[in-house]
């Protein structure tokens, strides 16, 4: 299937735990019905060879998982893939997609996958992805987020989404299990570098959250840590900063709960109840890896904006609503925004060590 890369506001955060979210029904997401069920399939094109079989000895949850052998992967990312047939999404809603993976090949850094969601099947339009992820020797959940692009006047089948896992390295032997889809408004939560704040990241940009101190509850190891202030990020307007009474250590188990107050997105959507876990290997704690401000020049700009970051892994451009507009996955020192309409945008840069750099740019 040839890919039409039409990426929407999709963000990635591994090991995230979100509990108060409505699950979407996915047929045989845990493979308990076996592989004879037609909800999953494997496709190989070109010179790709491999197979997938049931796994019962090493599972993430339940009694069954899937073991994949990708002997040869072919010339394209999609030459070897396993896909889930379809599941339905609704207009304007945001979704969290999770799949658990484990590398069981003999060598190190052998199994490399991409995990995607999109609309097909004839001409696959991709809406969200994790690209070129080297799998761990332990079970690891890969998570992607996206907002449904469909409108009420779309064709009747346009809201049917499928998920594909592409196998990118010859010799891959891996397991995968427990595919889940949930409606969500949040991406996750992290701690600030000094532990004085809990940073909650939403899919949409948020209106002024002041006055919601009583709607958030933070516990550390089961003990309440009162929230004294709630503020919006200066540049990342989809992040809400919760200042707590006592600083939190980076290895603490933290639970953040929101009971609906007056928190809304800039589009007017009320934020529903949610619970997020930080620590214990569930949600990534940024600590010293918190996003750093980077200088962008010229700013304002009419075409190219440059930055001084070494060993760049990716550059992403978001509009003020948090929608991903443009991305480059290469070691570059600039990005061309000449095709964008005039306005305010946010640039997110990640280097090869996983450090994140952000700032705002004005496109003239």
Domains of the chain, by residue range, sit at 3-183, 186-289, 292-363
Per the structure block, which two tokens stand in for 55?
């796994």
Mean pLDDT value across residues 23-45: 83
CA dihedral sign, ordered 27, 29, 32, 33: positive
The CA dihedral of 300, 304, 305, 310, to the nearest 10 degrees, is -170
Tell me whether the CATH fold assigned to 186-289 matches the one assigned to 292-363.
yes
Question: Predicted confidence band at 238 (pLDDT cuts at 50, 70, 90)?
Answer: confident
What is the C-alpha end-to-end distance of the chain, expressed in Å? 38
142 vs 251, residue with greater confidence:
142
90 vs 241, residue with greater confidence:
241
How would DSSP label each residue in 33-81? T-SSSTTEEEEE-TT-EEEEEEE-SS-SSSS-EEEEEEEE--SSTTSEE
Q: Does pLDDT of 363 surpass 60?
A: yes
What average pLDDT does the structure give for the chain? 79
| Neighbour count for residue 242 (Cβ, 10 Å) | 25
Contact 84, 40 (CB under 8 A): yes
75 vs 227, residue with greater confidence:
227
Predicted pLDDT of residue 279: 59
Predicted pLDDT of residue 1: 35
Q: pLDDT tens digits, residue range 91-143?
A: 767 788 888 999 999 877 678 888 888 876 556 677 777 778 889 899 988 87
If we measure between CA atoms, which residue out of 180, 183, 182 comes closest to residue 84? Answer: 180
Predicted pLDDT of residue 287: 30
Mean pLDDT value across residues 229-243: 89
Residues in the chain: 364
Q: pLDDT tens digits, residue range 267-296?
A: 777 887 887 877 543 333 233 233 466 778
Average the pLDDT over each of 39-48, 288-297, 313-322, 340-349 and give the range with the smallest value.
288-297
345 vs 257, residue with greater confidence:
257
Question: Predicted confidence band at 28 (pLDDT cuts at 50, 70, 90)?
Answer: confident
Q: Does pLDDT of 11 surpass 80?
A: no
Mean pLDDT value across residues 351-355: 78
Average the pLDDT over each of 128-137, 207-216, 316-325, 353-362 and give the range with the smallest value.
316-325
Q: What is the CA radius of gyration of the chain?
A: 21
If we measure between CA atoms, which residue out of 174, 181, 185, 143 comes closest to residue 15? Answer: 143
Backbone torsions φ then ψ of 101, nearest 5 degrees: -130, 155
268 vs 153, residue with greater confidence:
268
170 vs 275, residue with greater confidence:
170
Contact 67, 107 (CB under 8 A): no
Predicted pLDDT of residue 16: 32
Predicted pLDDT of residue 37: 76
In angstroms, rounded to a whole number, what is the distance separating the alpha carbons of residues 243 and 232? Answer: 11
Total-model pTM: 0.58
Predicted pLDDT of residue 53: 93
**For residue 187, what are the contacts with CB-CB under 8 A and spacing of at least 6?**
11, 13, 16, 145, 201, 202, 203, 238
Architecture in CATH for domain 186-289: Sandwich (2.60)
Four-way CATH pick for 3-183: 1.10.10.370, 2.60.120.260, 1.10.287.130, 1.10.579.10: 2.60.120.260
In angstroms, rounded to a whole number, what is the distance separating the alpha carbons of residues 153 and 130? Answer: 30
In angstroms, rounded to a whole number, what is the distance separating the alpha carbons of residues 142 and 15? Answer: 7
Question: DSSP class of residue 269?
Answer: P
Architecture in CATH for domain 292-363: Sandwich (2.60)
Backbone torsions φ then ψ of 229, nearest 5 degrees: -155, 145
In angstroms, rounded to a whole number, what is the distance separating the alpha carbons of residues 255 and 87? Answer: 31
């Amino acid at each position: 299937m040839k890919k039409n890369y039409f990426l929407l506001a999709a963000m990635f955060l591994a090991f995230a735990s979100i509990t108060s979210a409505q699950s979407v029904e996915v047929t045989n997401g845990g493979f308990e019905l076996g592989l004879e069920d037609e909800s999953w399939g494997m496709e190989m094109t070109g010179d790709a060879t491999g197979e997938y079989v049931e796994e019962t000895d090493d599972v993430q949850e339940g009694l069954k998982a899937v073991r994949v052998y990708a002997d040869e992967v072919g010339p394209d990312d999609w030459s070897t893939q396993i896909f889930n047939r379809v599941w339905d999404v609704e207009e304007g809603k945001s979704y969290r997609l999770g799949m658990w993976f484990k590398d069981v090949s003999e060598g190190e850094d052998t199994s490399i996958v991409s995990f995607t969601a999109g609309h097909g099947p004839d001409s696959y339009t991709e809406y969200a992805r994790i690209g070129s992820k080297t799998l761990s020797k332990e079970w690891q959940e890969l998570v992607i987020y996206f907002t449904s692009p469909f409108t009420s006047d779309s064709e009747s089948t346009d809201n049917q989404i499928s998920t594909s896992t592409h196998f990118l390295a010859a010799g891959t032997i891996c397991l995968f299990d427990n595919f889940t889809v949930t409606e969500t408004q949040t991406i996750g939560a992290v701690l600030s570098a000094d532990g004085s704040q809990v940073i909650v990241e939403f899919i949409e940009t948020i209106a002024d959250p002041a006055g919601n101190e009583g709607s958030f509850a933070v516990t550390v190891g089961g003990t309440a840590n009162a929230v004294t202030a709630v503020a919006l990020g200066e540049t990342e307007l989809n992040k809400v900063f919760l200042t707590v009474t006592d600083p939190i250590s980076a290895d603490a188990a933290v639970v953040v709960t929101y009971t609906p107050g007056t928190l809304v997105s800039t589009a007017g959507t009320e934020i529903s109840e949610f619970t997020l876990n930080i620590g214990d290997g569930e949600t990534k704690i940024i600590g010293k890896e918190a996003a750093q401000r980077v200088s962008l020049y010229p700013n304002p700009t009419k075409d190219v904006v440059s930055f001084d970051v070494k060993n760049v892994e990716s550059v992403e451009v978001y509009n003020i609503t948090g929608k991903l507009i443009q991305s480059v996955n290469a070691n570059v020192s600039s990005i061309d925004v000449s095709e964008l309409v005039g306005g305010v945008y946010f640039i997110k840069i990640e280097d090869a060590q996983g450090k994140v750099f952000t700032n705002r740019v004005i496109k003239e």
